[in-house]
A and B are shown apart, each in its own frame.
Chain A
Amino acid sequence: GAGVSQSPRYKVAKRGQDVALRCDPISGHVSLFWYQQALGQGPEFLTYFQNEAQLDKSGLPSDRFFAERPEGSVSTLKIQRTQQEDSAVYLCASSSTSGRAAEQYFGPGTRLTVT
């Protein structure tokens, strides 16, 4: 079946531009996570949705980062006034609620380069 998809796969933005990154989770998955992965590092948590509710945004690095999931399916991560330090791979993951150890299914990521 279809996995998690993300678009665009690559994005180049000039410093100061706004960007929007899209995530299509696996159909029916209630939980959706965004992670940021800098070069050579492991992914770091940004934010978490359960359906349309954003239950945890403790990992968002600044108020320039904003995420939404208005209908409980597709999610968008928006970064305003991009800075060079925002250059990273942004990963989206979804999971079902079944099971206490529900595995997360990751998309391929969006590589953002800020010039």
Chain B
Amino acid sequence: GAVVSQHPSRVICKSGTSVKIECRSLDFQATTMFWYRQFPKKSLMLMATSNEGSKATYEQGVEKDKFLINHASLTLSTLTVTSAHPEDSSFYICSATRQGGWSYTFGSGTRLTVV
């Protein structure tokens, strides 16, 4: 079955530094990847949609300069949280789909803590 690997699973960084989170589709080509943010006891909020080779499309209210998304290949998308602050601490989850399908495979998530 389709597998999406997300790394790291947990990261602690200092305020002001940048953190990169990777999302890889291991056994399929992911033409579209989605990045979500989840606050404790809350639902998943879609941050952005990325298509391979194109600029990401950000949801309203999401700072594209703070959350840099790159989808350079059909198997890899990255989310970089730039100049992280404590309020960026959250659980980030990626999801990937094949072309033309509504089959979503989720990564296991990344717990980001900014201190």
Note whether A and B form a binding pair.
no
**A: which residues have CB within 8 A of B?**
none
**B: which residues have CB within 8 A of A?**
none
